[in-house]
Structure 1
Amino acid sequence: MSRKKAIFIDIDNTIIHGSSLNILVKYCYDKKFLKLSLLLKSLYWYLLYKLDLIKNFDKISQKVLIMVSEIVGKITVEEVNAIFKDCFETQIKPKIYAESEEFLRASHKNGYIIYFISSTITPLAKLLQNYFGFGIVVATEIEEINGYYTGNVKGPICYGIEKLNRIEGIWEKENIDLKESYAFSDHISDTPMLNKVGHPIVVNPSRKLKEIAIKHHWEIKNYSL
């Protein structure tokens, strides 16, 4: 039996310009769901993340989810998903990099299995999956109780070594040929994932990741809208 080929691709700053959670927080502020102070906190944390100055990303992600829970905890999952969908259609979809979309669609036609692997929340990642019409989502699960999102994370946040833990199970189960597979990311936290495949590619890399990419002769791509 021939082994499968896969593409493990981050979402934020790799498929789309910016952070999907950050875009969601700003959207909620514009819709007057959130206070300005919460928006500024979110932007500040995102800046620290891009500058590689955050050591405990899990805590920051949890804080952003707590912000979102100010909204999602008050209305049903169905109503929240409608908000997420409108945010995706109006704010996130226009930020998809054309180069990334073209590569993914061509790769899918050529038989690659596409894994959207991201620290963002699963409902947002699934909207991207639906847009493409293919792929498998591996993202951060949020807790749902009695038809409401609680804002709490269900299991570990899909970040750093946790991404590697998740995809290790995937490639063993699906008989994936890592040497023929690709991984895409913009951030140094995904170095463990990039190290595992035959074709690691960094997109709009952070400073530290760019240094690693140059050292290891990884391909560097710079996408723009």
Structure 2
Amino acid sequence: MPEEPLPPSDRPILALFDVDNTLMRGTSLFQLGREAWKRRIIRARDIALFGWHQVRFIMVGENDEHLASSKERALGLLGGHSEAQILELADSIWEHRIRPRLYPDTVKLAQDHIARGHQVWLVSATPLVIGERMAQKLGLTGALGSQFESKDGVFTGRIIGHILHHERKAEAVRELAEREGADLAESWAYSDSRNDIPLLELVGHPTVVNPDVALMKHAHDHHWPIMRLRPSSIREARRRLRREARDAKKVTE
């Protein structure tokens, strides 16, 4: 007999954070490339291409061509290397490449959600091993990311399923919400990219962060909050979280 659904007041609430240009400046995949080049896993030509994608991403945002090329590079990086090597690489990337590039105020906002008992998940196209290490280091609930096949402890270079991008992110979050019994109507999502509109539309509290042009227009059309990574905008986002959390509590009392 199927389990009865939890009453709304008892169901988990998710806070979903994109990583690239939302939680950190630039792309986590580029930082993977830099560290791999430093360790001579890839060649100078590869890191030059990573650099081009990084500059383009910062200036004009995500696009399908960028994601396709990044996917190929990520697959090439992981193929033939042991899980232990990639985990060591992930630790080094976190310490030397990602941690210094975090937006401190977005991190504080994620931790505000944790303090309110919400589950905070990173949702990114970056390899899952990188996302999980970030979530662990930041004290968050977990991560959803692109998964890569390994056999006998060695990555094959093949992806499991699809790169976690666009509608794939939304599908992964639907599956997560079902597993956790979460209330998406009371959940939150934060992203900078038009490609995450399907994800943002899933939740009751979407917030766009330093949005690209297309997402900015969509946010204005749908009256979504827009957060700029400057003190006044961050303070307003944190106040909004406190205010709406209080309102939700009153409804359930």
TM-score normalized by the length of structure 2: 0.80
* Secondary structure of the structure 2 residue equivalent to 1:158: coil
Match of 1:43 in 2: 51
8 A Cα contact 1:202 1:221, kept in partner: yes
Partner Cα distance (1:24, 1:4) in 2 = 33
Match of 1:129 in 2: 135
- Which among 173, 179, 186 is matched to residue 180 of structure 1? 186
- Which among 82, 85, 91 is matched to residue 76 of structure 1? 82
8 A Cα contact 1:20 1:120, kept in partner: yes
Partner Cα distance (1:98, 1:53) in 2 = 22
State the shift of 1:177 in Å: 2.2
Match of 2:38 in 1: 30
Q: More helix per residue: 1 or 2?
A: 2
Question: Is 1:21 aligned with 2:29?
Answer: yes
Aligned AA for 2:194? I
- Which among 96, 111, 120 is matched to residue 114 of structure 1? 120
Partner Cα distance (2:62, 2:103) in 1 = 26
Give aligned-pair identity as a percent: 24
Partner Cα distance (2:186, 2:89) in 1 = 39
Structure 1 residues 131 and 183: CA distance shift in structure 2, 3 A: same
Partner Cα distance (1:174, 1:191) in 2 = 22
8 A Cα contact 2:26 2:54, kept in partner: no
Larger Rg: 2
Structure 1 spans left out of the alignment, 5+ residues: none
Structure 1 residues 56 and 6: CA distance shift in structure 2, 3 A: same
Partner Cα distance (1:89, 1:35) in 2 = 22
Question: Is 1:8 aligned with 2:16?
Answer: yes
Higher relative contact order (CA 8 A, sep 6+): 1
Partner Cα distance (2:86, 2:13) in 1 = 35
Partner Cα distance (2:145, 2:161) in 1 = 11
Match of 2:245 in 1: none
Partner Cα distance (2:209, 2:187) in 1 = 16
1:59-82 deviation line (CA, Å, top 9, x unaligned) = 32321213413xx51x42212211
- Which among 54, 64, 67 is matched to residue 63 of structure 2? 54
Q: 185-194 or 130-139, which moves further after superposition?
A: 130-139
- Which among 98, 116, 129 is matched to residue 92 of structure 1? 98
**Alignment RMSD:** 2.2
1:29-58 deviation line (CA, Å, top 9, x unaligned) = 234432221112223334555535733565
Structure 1 residues 107 and 82: CA distance shift in structure 2, 3 A: same
TM-score normalized by the length of structure 1: 0.89
State the shift of 1:140 in Å: 0.5
Structure 1 residues 85 and 150: CA distance shift in structure 2, 3 A: same
Structure 1 residues 12 and 108: CA distance shift in structure 2, 3 A: same
- Which among 187, 196, 202 is matched to residue 190 of structure 1? 196
Question: Is 1:147 aligned with 2:143?
Answer: no
Partner Cα distance (1:53, 1:193) in 2 = 15
8 A Cα contact 1:38 1:67, kept in partner: no
8 A Cα contact 1:24 1:87, kept in partner: yes
State the shift of 1:91 in Å: 0.9
Tell me how many residue pairs correspond in the alignment: 222
Question: Is 1:66 aligned with 2:72?
Answer: no
State the shift of 1:124 in Å: 0.4
Aligned AA for 2:74? L
